[in-house]
Amino acid sequence: MKAAALSAALALTACVPASEPRPPAGAGGFNVTPSAAGRGEPFAQGAWTITVEKLVVQASVGAMRVLNGDDGYYGGGGAEWIFEVRAAPVIFAPGAPIGPARVQASLHGQYLSHDTHRGDDHMTFVGVSAEDVQRMYERADVPPSYLTSSQYYDYAYGPSVLLRMRGARDDGERVVVDLTIVTQSSIGSGFVDTGKSLNGGYFGSGAVEVEIRANSLNVGIMDVAPELLFDETFPFQVIADADADRSGTVTSVELQAVQAVVKSPKGMPAPPSSPSPSSASGYTQSLLDTLSNRLVGLCFRVHS
């Protein structure tokens, strides 16, 4: 199946005149590798047992050729994907030039233009329902923090992540977390146990270098571990407490309405866009922004 997909993908390389031979090309991407929690197995955090029922991601994958003797990159292939993490797909960009390449993945919401064209002709879907795909092409429940409400009306985005979790406590309390998240971020390289970013940035560079070979799929690894969303600095209980109407379902709107002083995990700095810290041990941010930042910065890690 992967060989057939690669053959079809390589046929999508840039157009060249029929009289000229097509330059050799390969494909670069990532083997998405979910943890047990990412595959839907329950995990414990504090008094809660949490199950991730849905983690659907929209991402762009690019494979850029490394220039010899230069720090830059150029050319290469690109592709857009909507996939369910538990499907463990191989996501890749075709049409990458032969040789060393920098392969990167970025989360992004679908830009919603005023026409009715959805752009399905350049999107690959893996493990998602028709309902999930439709939701990706509708305005997210909450505008991204970098756009005002008026700007969002003109520059609307669909969600880049659909996240649904179910939490249960031994005392019988139950809550469903059902979110649409907009974030335009490179998928991070993660944080090692020492608390230092592998690439120095808040989200990391989200890239690996691979050797592109002709007519070959060359991939790095994308680990996805949603259980890392929560710890003693950001327990699941604060999400459950945001259920303002006590409906049993926590929404993006409810999380956006709650401002809290958030403590950074060990070694993970506050986002550059966050306000000045309101205390020596944390910074003020909505719970939705905090969860979004942690999702990208902690739960995804790419490596060779």
Q: How far apart are CA 241 and CA 258, in angstroms?
A: 10
pLDDT for res 239: 96
Q: Is the distance from CB of 168 to CB of 49 less than 8 angstroms?
A: yes
pLDDT for res 152: 52
pLDDT, tens only, 26-40: 999 999 999 999 999
pLDDT, tens only, 201-253: 333 356 888 999 999 999 999 999 999 999 988 999 999 999 999 999 999 99
Q: How far apart are CA 7 and CA 10, in angstroms?
A: 5
Tell me the pLDDT of the chain (304 aa) as tens digits: 445 555 545 444 444 445 566 678 899 999 999 999 999 999 999 999 999 999 999 999 988 887 765 555 556 678 999 999 999 999 999 988 888 888 988 887 777 765 555 656 678 999 999 999 999 888 888 876 666 555 555 556 788 899 999 999 999 999 999 999 887 677 754 433 323 222 323 333 568 889 999 999 999 999 999 999 999 889 999 999 999 999 999 999 999 999 887 766 654 555 444 444 444 556 788 999 889 888 888 899 888 8
Closest by Cα among 261, 88, 286, 271 to 179: 286
pLDDT for res 128: 97
186: left (phi over 0), alpha (psi -120 to 50) or beta: beta
- DSSP letter at 291? H
Q: Number of C-alpha atoms within 13 angstroms, CB side, residue 111?
A: 8
Q: How far apart are CA 223 and CA 44, in angstroms?
A: 20
Q: Is the distance from CB of 33 to CB of 219 less than 8 angstroms?
A: no
Distance of CA 202 to the CA centre of its chain: 14
Backbone angles phi, psi at 169, to 5 degrees: -110, 155
pTM: 0.81
pLDDT for res 296: 84
Q: How far apart are CA 79 and CA 90, in angstroms?
A: 12
Under 8 Å CB-to-CB from 276, ≥6 apart: which residues? 283
In three-state form (DSSP H/G/I as H, E/B as E, the rest C), the secondary structure along 186-208 is ECCCCECCCCCECCCCCCCCCEE
Can you point out the beta strands (E) in the chain?
A: 25-34, 43-45, 48-66, 73-84, 90-97, 99-107, 123-126, 161-169, 174-181, 185-186, 207-212, 217-224, 249-251, 259-262, 283-286, 300-303
Q: Is the distance from CB of 162 to CB of 136 less than 8 angstroms?
A: yes
- DSSP letter at 157? B
pLDDT for res 158: 82
For residues 85, 86, 89, 92, the Cα torsion angle rounded to the nearest 10 degrees is: 10
pLDDT for res 177: 97
Q: How far apart are CA 299 and CA 180, in angstroms?
A: 17
Burial of 14 (0-12, 13-18, 19+ CB in 10 A): exposed
